[in-house]
Amino acid sequence: MRLFVAVTPPPEAVAELSSATEAVRAAHPRLRWTRPDQWHLTLAFLGTVGDEARAGLVNRLARAAALHPPMRLALTGAGRFGDRVLWTRVTGDVAALRGLAAAARVAATRVGIAVEERPYRPHLTLARGRDGADLRPVVDALAGFAGCTWTATQLHLVRSHLGAGPDRTSRYETLNSWPLTGS
């Protein structure tokens, strides 16, 4: 199954971002907007993982969560990866978030999952561009967004069901969650 490791903003941060992006979502209906109930910060994308590797991964992620403390984070402004991905930036305890992302990647590598070597760029994906989309005005429209600070208290292993959501978007299913209990 297709898996990734993530942390998620709490309902109040989701509600705040949802209302802050409402007008811009309505103004740009050609973009494929992600759904607020599926918003997450990907720490490591693992691709297709077999059952045996998943069992080992679950044990290692549980240990990683036990070693890392809760993190104070906020969502601020916007940016883009080319004209493909529109995102909001993660600020706050980003060093700890990077540490947790590295631990998730190590956990996966140790059980034989080939994790992409891309540098980790903390973000929450808001929309994906269709061909020829110009994301620059959307980034500008969201530049002033400054979300509340919240605490990420859990690490999640999430399954992605490709094309199973409304409008052929992916649907995400949380398989395991562990509290961040390190100090």
- 177, with CB counted inside 10 A (0-12, 13-18, 19+), is middle
- Of 117 and 183, which has the nearer Cβ to ligand 2AM? 117
* Helix H or strand E encompassing 100: helix 94-110
Answer yes or no whether residue 178 interacts with ligand 2AM by CB under 6 A. Answer: no
Residue 86, burial from CB neighbour count under 10 angstroms (0-12, 13-18, 19+)? buried
Name the minimum Å distance from CB 183 to ligand 2AM.
28
Nearer to ligand 2AM, 91 or 170 (CB): 170
**Element holding 21 (H helix, E strand):** helix 11-27
Q: Is 120 in the site for ligand 2AM (CB under 6 A)?
A: no
**4 scored as a contact of ligand 2AM (CB under 6 A):** yes
Q: What order of strands is seen across the sheet that includes strand 85-92?
A: 32-33, 123-128, 85-92, 71-81, 146-152
In the complex, minimum distance from the CB of residue 166 to ligand 2AM, in angstroms, rounded to a whole number: 16
Return the residue of 1, 20, 25, 45 that touches ligand 2AM, per CB under 6 A: 45
Q: Say how far apart CA 146 and CA 74 lie, in whole Å.
A: 8
Non-local (6+) Cβ contacts of 10 within 8 A are 150, 151
Residues 80-119, one symbol each (x = binds ligand 2AM by CB under 6 A, - = not), give: -----x----------------------------------
Q: What residues from 144 to 173 belong to the interface with ligand 2AM (CB under 6 A)?
A: 160, 170
Q: Which residues bind ligand 2AM (CB under 6 A)?
A: 4, 42, 45, 85, 125, 160, 170
